[in-house]
Amino acid sequence: MKAKQIASNPERKARKRARKNDVRDLVFLHGWGSGAGIWDELARRLAPRFRVHALPLPGYGAGSACAVRSLQAMVDAVARAAPRRCGVIGWSLGGEVALAWARRVPHQVRRLALIATTPCFTRRPGWPCATAPEVLHEFGQSFAADRAGTLARFSAVQAKGDARARRVAGVLQHFSERSAPSDVLKAGLAVLSDADLRRDLPRVRQPALVLHGARDRIVPPAAGRRLAAALPDARFALMRTAAHAPFLSQPGRVARALREFFDE
Domain of residue 236, CATH code: 3.40.50.1820
User: Of the ranges 21-35, 41-55, 110-124, which one carries the lowest mean pLDDT score?
Assistant: 21-35
Show contacts of 166-172: CB within 8 Å, 24+ apart.
167/248, 167/249, 168/243, 168/245, 168/248, 168/249, 171/38, 171/245, 171/248, 172/34, 172/38, 172/245, 172/248
Q: Is 97 a member of any domain?
A: yes
Each residue of 38-68: pLDDT tens digit?
Answer: 999 999 999 999 999 999 999 997 655 566 7
Task: Give the per-residue pLDDT at 178.
Answer: 87
Range of the domain at 32: 20-263
Q: Which residues are catalytic?
A: 92, 216, 244
Each residue of 151-195: pLDDT tens digit?
Answer: 999 999 999 999 999 999 999 999 998 889 999 999 999 999 999
3-state SS assignment for residue 243: coil
Q: Is 157 a member of any domain?
A: yes
Task: Give the per-residue pLDDT at 5.
Answer: 39
Q: Is 36 a member of any domain?
A: yes
Q: Is 6 a member of any domain?
A: no
- Between CA 230 and CA 98 the distance in angstroms is 16
- Between CA 180 and CA 99 the distance in angstroms is 23
Q: Is residue 134 predicted with pLDDT exceeding 60?
A: yes
Q: Is 159 a member of any domain?
A: yes
Q: Is 58 a member of any domain?
A: yes
* Residue 6 pLDDT level (bands cut at 50, 70, 90): very low
Describe the strand order of the beta sheet including 51-55 as a list of residue ranges: 51-55, 25-29, 86-91, 109-115, 208-213, 234-239
- Between CA 264 and CA 246 the distance in angstroms is 22
Q: Is 67 a member of any domain?
A: yes
| Of 17, 18, 38, residue with least CA distance to 28 | 38
Q: Is 14 a member of any domain?
A: no
Instruction: Look at the chain and report how many structural domains it folds into.
Output: 1
